[in-house]
Amino acid sequence: MVDPPRRGYTLPVWLAAAACAAVAALRGEALQAERWLELLEPAGLAAVPVQAAAALADGWTLAESRCDPGDGLDLTRGLAVWVLARWLEPSPPGEGARGEQQTEKGQQLEQGLENDQQPWLQLEAGEGVGVIASSGQLCISAYARALLHTNLRPLVPAGRRLQLRVVLPSGRQLAERTSNAAFGVVEGLALIGTQAASQASADPAQLQRTLDSLATRLAAPDFGGELILVLGENGLDLAPRLGLPASLLLKVGNWLGPVLVAAGQGGVKRLLLFGYQGKLIKLAGGIFHTHHHLADGRAEILTALAALEGLAGPGLEALHGAASVETALAELQACQPELASRLRARLAATVERRTAQYLARHDAAGMEVGAVLFDRGRQVCAAGPIGARWLAN
């Protein structure tokens, strides 16, 4: 019998462990080899290893954890997470109570924390940590924020204010191997993650884990026949913000085809594909395993659809030669916005149509599939006819 893959933790968990260790050092506590954290998603306590913690000059402390995402492929493996901490000047009268109230809200994960700068906490991006290019703000998911606030607040004395600076020494280099830039995240790795346990989308074993999760959904007494397949962490974080029901979300990696077939054969009647346009475009070309090592063809798919919308000559050649789907559509939007809008609509509709054809070939017809695409600005940019009905509900 093959042992099941060893599960590890996502980056937000290692961040929270290092942050707690840095604050404990501020409080004069001795280093603990492990920090007990409330993980929130799923609920429960876990002991998370910490490498080191020490006092520095000017009132700062520094703590380090090392990412262990478990078995499978994950670029955060061995990533050093540094958190620097120090006390700031006390809050003006009355601000401590407001900070406490906001923390209680933060413990409700589904609400999230939209503002990183709470009265008792100043959170900063240091070297190697991704920021949103348009605003310069730290790129951090709602789960990571809630995890930090839940575990740090009990360590901060009433009336004290805490400054935290997150540093990922190799984050800038590792970010070059991700799609961060496509989502407008620059300078390093985004602090994203929507749960404690890591999930490697390129790992073949991830397919079985996803199929197991799907089977559990289908067998649940309250299963209503609807499902939303979300591609990647950005989509998983964005979907609830757009009003898509969190209870219907299932993260899927690159193995889309088998998961779609299993959903159709297992009783799903209505399914939504929600993902980045540079990823979902592959489905419009009949590519249902989306890892770039297997197949690409995005430029060819985009130009074929553009030709059907009437683009020809130099314009079509420029579209094909663009550095990415995002760049191609942005450049087309700048010079021919109406054509760009039509092209995105055709793309989303084609994803829906080709998916239906794929399911019919694999004896899984009958499931209604919609598609909603978002861009690097994390804005919905296109929806097929079926996907549009999901957004309208």
What pLDDT, in 10s, does the model give residues 312-353? 999 999 999 987 888 899 999 999 999 999 999 999 999 999
Give residue 159's pLDDT: 85
Tokens matching residue 90: 């006390």
Burial class (CB in 10 A: 0-12, 13-18, 19+), 368: middle
Regarding whether 245 and 178 lie in a shared domain, the answer is: no
270-311: pLDDT as tens digits: 999 999 898 899 999 998 887 655 667 889 999 999 999 999
CATH of the domain at 146: 3.30.2110.10
Q: Does the pLDDT at position 201 exceed 70?
A: no
Q: Which domain holds residue 249?
A: 204-392
Give residue 133's pLDDT: 87
Regarding whether 41 and 146 lie in a shared domain, the answer is: yes
For residue 312, what are the contacts with CB-CB under 8 A and spacing of at least 6?
A: none
Q: 108 or 16, which is more confident? A: 16
Last residue of a domain, one of 157, 189, 221: 189
Regarding whether 121 and 235 lie in a shared domain, the answer is: no
Span of 26-35, 147-156, 235-244, 272-281 with lowest mean pLDDT: 235-244
Nearest to 202 by CA among 334, 71, 377, 347: 71
Domain membership of residue 194 (yes or no) is no
Domain membership of residue 199 (yes or no) is no
Contact 302, 319 (CB under 8 A): yes
The one-letter amino acid at 348: A
Cα-flanking dihedrals φ and ψ of residue 3, to 5°?
Answer: -65, 140
The top-scoring range by mean pLDDT among 97-101, 146-150, 205-209 is 146-150
Domain membership of residue 157 (yes or no) is yes
Number of H helices, E strands in the chain: 13, 16
Regarding whether 262 and 136 lie in a shared domain, the answer is: no
DSSP line for 257-279: HHHHHHHHHHT--EEEEEEEHHH
CA distance 237 to 241: 7
The top-scoring range by mean pLDDT among 56-60, 97-101, 209-213, 274-278 is 56-60
Q: Name the domain count of the chain.
A: 2
CA distance 88 to 85: 10
Span of 42-56, 208-222, 229-243 with lowest mean pLDDT: 229-243
Last residue of a domain, one of 189, 219, 250: 189
SS3 160: coil
Give residue 100's pLDDT: 32
Regarding whether 313 and 266 lie in a shared domain, the answer is: yes
CA distance 39 to 190: 19
The count of C-alpha atoms lying within 13 angstroms of the C-alpha of 354, restricted to the half-sphere facing its C-beta, is 20
Regarding whether 208 and 183 lie in a shared domain, the answer is: no
SS3 15: helix
Last residue of a domain, one of 189, 213, 228: 189
Regarding whether 276 and 359 lie in a shared domain, the answer is: yes
